[in-house]
Amino acid sequence: MKVRKAVIPVAGFGTRFLPATKATPKEMFPLVDKPLTQYVVEEAVAAGIEEIIFVTGQSKRAIEDHFDSNFELEYVLESKGKHEQLKAVRQISAMCSFAYVRQKEMKGLGDAILQAKNLVNGEPFAVMTPDDVFSGTDSALCDLIRAYEKTQAPIIGVTKVPKELTPLYGIVSGEEESPGLVRVSNVVEKPEADQAPSQYATSGRYILFPEIFEILEQLPPGKGNEIQIADANNELARLRPVYAAEINGVYHDAGSKLGYLQAVVEYALVRDDLGDEFRAFLKERLKRT
């Protein structure tokens, strides 16, 4: 069955970016001139996704407004002859179909995914966390969908990280069946570097099957007293094949301050309208340092 729907959880408080996130969703932080969430939606659309399901929370109205039409803004842009900006604004709401459901309590990624159960409606679906972005690739999700089409199994998106960074991530263990494709036996949350079973780190992209909902409904809270998707995938891997597929492109943890700044630089450098001047600025700035 074709993967037509993607669940994007955006309900978190964004505490790592306080006080900036007190009133502004971190998912709306810009990478140059587009918010993080828009990049993730565009990635989904490039992979053939037709419907986006946002799992939202309090103070997230800006996300809904961003992906809705804004007739007043469109009128102003049209009357002033700003046709390029008008086209860009109209394309946002026309990319695909959008739906919204609330996560009433912050109980983890697994619980957020569970809130989308009725809207998923029995289909395989993608999960994409907007904190995690990739440069140097048109659509990271395409890599997962290709792996899904090959295996007809749930897929965990992974990226290879240096050994010393494995304590920061969920790390996949299992047998590598082909380059970049691992049959998962377990996902270990933030292992010490000398105990990490591999260098494949989970990176905020999944292809899941509806059976994950039954597991999530019965799963006891794990680390941080939250429902963890890693625990659900570990349970699922005991029942059926689950695979991890390596994503092409450069991974950025834009949910951290350093990762966000690195992503801004990467995205700015490849812009036709900004890249050359920004690169020259960075070189000059490094000389002064």
User: Is the pTM value of this prediction over 0.95?
Assistant: no
Residue 7 has pLDDT above 90, yes or no: yes
CATH class assigned to 5-288: alpha beta
pLDDT digits (tens, 9 = 90+) for 29-43: 999 999 999 999 999
Residue whose C-alpha is closest to residue 263's, from 44, 36, 88: 36
pLDDT mean over 6-29 = 92
The rounded percent of the chain whose pLDDT value lies above 90 is 67
Q: How confident is the model over 160-192, as pLDDT tens digits?
A: 999 999 998 889 999 888 888 999 999 988 888
Residue 260: per-residue pLDDT: 95
108 in Cβ contact with 223 (< 8 Å): no
Between CA 247 and CA 140 the distance in angstroms is 6
User: Nearest CA to 10 among 267, 204, 224?
Assistant: 204
Classify residue 30 by its DSSP letter.
E
- Closest residue by Cα to residue 45 from 89, 98, 85: 98
Q: For residue 19, is the peptide bond before it cis, meaning its omega torsion is within 30 degrees of 0?
A: yes
